[in-house]
A and B are shown apart, each in its own frame.
Chain A
Amino acid sequence: MMTYFMSWYIQDFLRVFSSGHFLVPEIFLLALLYIALVDEEKGVLSFWVGFIGGLLWDLRWPGVPGLSSGVYVFSVLMVRWVWFSLPSSGRTVPVFGLLLWSGHLLITFIRLLMWGLREQEILKTFVVQQAVLIPMVMLACLLYVWRMNQDDV
């Protein structure tokens, strides 16, 4: 639970610090997806935590209440469905990373659309956001590998 709380707080912290000058990385969603993938028992918890976290985000920052919560839950649901539909041999680290990254796509595009930017600025903001997101996804993959190794010992 602490992971959810801390990730939401860090994301909020960055949002306050940035004053809306750049698109903050979706750290909370990353934590949600990571836990939802590595711990199959926490599916239901991930949905409701995602729902509450998204709702709080929408209430805290200019947005439409229900939007982030809905997208968070939908992303977790889809990613989890794909991941656990795969055979054990197919659950590799690249697939894990790909799912984490693709789980962000929907919310990223919605945030970009709501940002109110012009076409060329949207692309620039997207690139910057991805430049932050991809290292975070890679870090999550490393953590996943480490966790796998720990489990195998």
Chain B
Amino acid sequence: MRRPLKGNNFSGELIHGLIAIAISLLLLAFAPRAGEVYRIPADAVGKFLYYPEYPAVFLNVTFRKLSLWFTERASLISQIQSLSRENWLLKVAAGRRKVAEEIIVLDSSIVNTRVTLRSPENWWTEIRLNKGQENGLKPGLPMLQDGYLIGRLSRVESGYSWGDLITSPSLLIPVVVDQTRDLGVVTGDGQGSVWLQYVPEGRFIEKGMTVSTALVSESLPPGLPIGMVTGETRRLSGDVDAYKIQPGGDFVRLYTVEILTEEKKKP
């Protein structure tokens, strides 16, 4: 067991303790007046501890950098998200404006006409329209119904014009299958059906694929939709398949036709 502190020992210790406290109090008392005096030993202690404290400084700086990195990362992610959203909104706004501009351009380049004659003997081959040269119409211009190609102008006179329908066997339209980019020719059979012909053998043309004008013809702009592959085929001479197309235009209710002219007026 431990011995109790002896009386003499404690007195000796007490003296040491009191002396240390007294010196401390003296230092405290002189501290306000002796700022310069304390600065020298304070600097010396700082210099002496420079290297021993270096690991702590290094850790502190590393920790701060790490903390800053995380803070900056979070801030950057937040900024990216904000910018992405802003970019998306700008794209939508720009897209809307572009679409609106295109609509204006398209409107200005379309001439609306009425069908004035569709004779029974040439029901599936040609029609007569009520507008002609004075409206800027020219032979070869595409005829549309609800945005789908239904034929092209064949003759243009003053006050009227004639157009060949895609159901006519005499009209051959170079086309492309949108999904496979296979080229072919669309023509009619004179009985109300439209067929895709001259597609290279072995190509995989499926029901539901869409067909539009190809960048082959000079007078027809590319990309005008024509119709959809029905899945029905027939064998032509030379063992070549023809694919039946369901036209986008309604040939039964053909009362008005839009002519896409070459004049495109910018707003």
Contact = CB atoms under 8 A, between A and B. Distances in A.
Interface of A: 9, 12-14, 16-19, 40, 43-44, 47-48, 50-51, 54-56, 59-60, 64-67, 69-70, 73-74, 76-77, 80-81, 84, 87-88, 91
Contacts of A60: 42, 45-46, 49
A83 to B, nearest CB: 9
Contacts of B2: 40, 88, 91
B17 interface: yes
B16 A47 contact: yes
Nearest to B25: A70
Interface residues of B, number: 37
Nearest to B40: A59
A16 B24 contact: no
Given A43-B9, A65-B31, A87-B4, 16 more contacts: A12-B52, A13-B53, A17-B59, A40-B9, A43-B10, A44-B13, A55-B24, A64-B31, A66-B23, A70-B20, A70-B25, A73-B21, A73-B24, A77-B21, A84-B4, A88-B2
Nearest to B14: A77
A56 B20 CA distance: 14
Contact of B27 (A66, A76, A91): A66
Interface centre among B13, B41, B45, B57, by most chain A C-beta atoms within 10 angstroms, is B13
Contacts of B60: 16-19
B45 A84 contact: no
B24 A70 contact: yes
B28 A48 contact: no
A87 B2 CA distance: 10
Contacts of B3: 40
A137 to B, nearest CB: 20
Nearest to B13: A43
Of all A-B residue pairs in the complex, the 6 with the closest CB atoms, nearest first, are A66-B27, A70-B24, A16-B56, A84-B5, A66-B28, A43-B13
Given A16-B53, A16-B60, A55-B27, A88 B16 contact: no
Interface in B38-68: 38, 41-42, 45-46, 49, 52-53, 55-57, 59-60, 63
Given A44-B13, A51-B20, A59 B53 contact: no
B252 interface: no
A50 B42 CA distance: 18
B267 interface: no
Given A48-B20, A70-B28, A88-B4, A81 B57 contact: no
Contacts of B41: 59
Contacts of B16: 43-44, 47-48
Given A16-B60, A80-B13, A51 B24 contact: yes
A8 to B, nearest CB: 10
A73 B21 CA distance: 6
A59 B13 contact: no
Contacts of A43: 5, 9-10, 13, 16-17
